[in-house]
Structure formats: structure tokens, C-alpha cells
Amino acid sequence: MRYRVLGGTGMEVSTYCLGTMMFGAVGNPDHQEAVRIIHAALDRGINFVDTADMYSAGESEEIVGKALRDPRRREDTVLATKVYFPVGGEGPNRSGSSRRWITLAVENSLKRLGTDWIDLYQVHRPDHRTDIEETLDVLGDLVSQGKIRAFGCSTFPAERIVEAHAVAERRGLRRFRTEQPPYSLLARGVETSVLPVAQRYGMGVLTWSPLASGFLSGGYRQGRSVDLTRGRAALTPHRFDPALPGNQAKLAAVEELVGVADSLGCTLPELAVAFAAAHPAVTSVILGPRTMEQLEGLLKGASVVLTDEAMDRIDAIVPPGTDLYRADGVWLPEALTDPSLRRRPVGERAAAD
């Protein structure tokens, strides 16, 4: 296993990070098996574990806490979690990145994880309701209190990252040290600005969804039927329905990428994780297995080395900066989700005529 420094934090983390979103009710509800998977990853050299308070409503954090109960395992593991989404019930002030919610959420995460500190605390999504100065200020306080060691952001667009760094510099606040964007062979949009901006600010980058929500798992191929009533396909059938033009384009790309993998003597999933790790801005690639078998298959990608010729072939199939799909859960700016921000009041429209 290779290790890289996480941005400017000085912490060395494995090139592959164990993501735990699939541990708990949403994926694998067997706590003992999930703990065994975590231990197997640690024994294979992974020293970086990523979770979030909202994964299975806190259950994932509890499982990670069980796996790291041994003090030595906890000391040797760089532990990351996230805050933003509601946990413990809906209602006002129970989500976002305000001082009030972060102060409450971090205490709950520490309890579920059974630890005194979090190595990397990440804001899960941008929050247009909260001034970024407020968020940076409370996160800096948590560092001073020793409850977290560093903090970062997740799925932030480039302009929000730049804004956060500008505010931190202007106000003398601690800054985001990491960004966690979606990145895969089929979703390369972050190459346009997010990854270059992260490099400019010396940020560590943890990428998620290297298998493109399962589309690069090898289970979805042209000519194969897809059961839209089971598994991930049942949750987001529009992502997998082969009758839709967008999915036809993904399937066509998959067939060509399989050819690249075959020429390298590896599987499509191994090619996928190796590709994400090859970008110079990327520190660590998050692997999100549900079973031990999936973990073993994904870790084989750690030994795959992509030649320039292989990278050129990939670029010809999915050009740099191109998204063949919008990754599940990607943040949309309020300018797109709130119609009032895109439409002048009716009275003003009439006056303009």
C-alpha cells in the first residue's frame, strides 16, 4: 500500500480509503461482518477510514467505533466523518453547517465513534443558509478544543472552495484542508476546475464513487438485462434503465473500457480505482465495499499501474472533464433548485414588456 500526505495536514494516509456508507441498514446490517471487513482493510495497509453521521442514521459511525475500539487500532487509523444532513429527526436547526448544528453534531459523532477526537471532520455539502465565515469559525474552535484535528469539505463546487479560502485568509481563520468530490471514469467533470483549485490551495483530495454508482462494477454490460426492482437499480432506476439514451452512452463507454482493462490484464473495477488514484490532485480513493469479496476485488486495483498509452485510450473514450452522468447525491446550487432565483416577479416581467 502506498501512502500520501493529506494536503498540508502532515497526516499520511493510504492511497485507498475505506468508505463505510454500505455498513448498516442501507447496505450490510451485520455489524460483526462489517467489523471484520474494516479489520481486513486495516490489516492490508489501509489506514484511512471515512464515514458520515447520516450513513444509516448514525449506525455506520457506531460500527466504525466498534471496529476501532482497540486503542492501538484507533491511534493508527486516520478517521474521517462528516456533518450537514439531518440525523436524529427532521426539524429546524437539525441540519446544515451552522455553529449550533455543528457543535451538537460533532458531540454525537464522537459518542457513536467511541473516540475523543476525529482526525478529519468534513462539511458534507455547501449550505447557502449559513455564512461560510460562521462555519470556518466553529470548525476552527473544534480544532483548538482538540475534538478534531483538521477539517474539509465534500462535493463543493470550485467557486465555493475559492470563496472559503478567501474568507479564511481575510478573516484569519483556519481553512479547509481537503475536498471530497465524486470522480470516476464516467464522471470526470471535476477535472475542469475542482481538482485544479484543490491543487492550487494545497488541499488533500478524497474521491468517492470510483465505480460510478456501480456502473463500473462489471455487472452492467450491453446486451444484458437489468433488474430494476432490486439493489441499487431499484433506488435509482433512471441510472440503470438500458432503454434511456444516457445509459446507452454509459454502456457503450463501459464496453470500450473493458477492452482497456483486458489489455492490462485487470478487471473493470480494478481499472476504475487505479484511474482515480492516478490523477496528481488525488490523495486517496474511497472504496465502499458491502462484502469482504468486494473489498478484496477492489484492493487488487492497488497494484494496477496505468501506462500513458492506457490513459490516452481512456481519454479517447471519455474525454477529460466530461461527465456521462451526474453522480447520485451531487449538490445543486440554490440558483437551480429555487425557481424564485431564476424568475423575475410577474409584475416586473410585465413592466419590462
- The catalytic site residues sit at 55
Task: Give exposure, 192-204, as e/b (b: 16+ Cβ within 10 Å).
Answer: eebbebbeebebb
Beta strands in the chain (DSSP E): 3-5, 12-14, 16-19, 48-50, 78-83, 118-123, 148-154, 178-180, 204-207, 284-287
Q: 311 near 274, Cβ under 8 Å?
A: no
Helices 158-171 & 132-144, crossing angle to 10 degrees?
60
Taking the C-alpha atoms of 276, 54, 96 and 15 in order, what is their torsion angle to the nearest 10 degrees? -20
Closest CA to 175 of 216, 123, 129: 123
Number of H helices, E strands in the chain: 14, 10
Taking the C-alpha atoms of residue 236 and residue 228, their distance in angstroms, rounded to an integer, is: 8
Q: Which DSSP category does 91 fall into?
A: S
Instruction: Judge residue 87's burial from the number of C-beta atoms within 10 Å of its C-beta, 0-12 exposed, 13-18 middle, 19 or more buried.
Output: buried
